[in-house]
Amino acid sequence: MQQFEEIQASELILGRALAYLSAERNGISRIDASQLSSNESEIFGLLRDRMKLMHTGADFTGMLPPGPCETDKPYLKDNEDIFLAMLILASHDSELKGECNKIWTHLNDCYRCFDYFCKVMRGYSLKTLELLNKETNHEE
């Protein structure tokens, strides 16, 4: 985890790396790590290795604190595994609903986590849309 924190340059890079991972997982795009920036590439590699160790996302959403985070540091900032858990859960529709509810509840409870989540996922959603567009154009 220490290594992860050192490499993470910004929420945006984390978001983009998650988007590459999600695209690869869902077969949207084959990711060539050499085409990514060095930061994105390293985080992408770390996330991919880490995800292989995670069996189910539910183990992680259950650890979200009840109510808002008490410290100045949002829980999500120290626990990037939550983002990976979301990607895993997204591929299991039946489990998704209840687990996502835990995530929404915490984000609604905790302004700092919501703020951090939105910064990370902005990079994720923009990159995902870009990869989807690229794929659509490629198919045409």
**Interacting residues with another protein (CB under 8 A):** 22, 86-87, 89-90, 93, 96, 100-101, 103-105, 107-109, 111, 114-115, 118, 121-122, 124-126, 128-129, 132
Enclosing H/E stretch for 11 = helix 11-25
Tokens of 7: 């490499």
Please tell me the distance from the alpha carbon of residue 133 to that of residue 136, in angstroms, as a whole number.
5
Least distance CB 32 / another protein (angstroms): 21
Least distance CB 104 / another protein (angstroms): 4
In the complex with another protein, which residue's Cβ is closer, 3 or 83? 83
In the complex with another protein, which residue's Cβ is closer, 3 or 97? 97
Residue 111 zone, left/alpha/beta (φ > 0; ψ -120 to 50; rest): alpha
Least distance CB 137 / another protein (angstroms): 16
Please tell me the distance from the alpha carbon of residue 31 to that of residue 52, in angstroms, as a whole number.
16
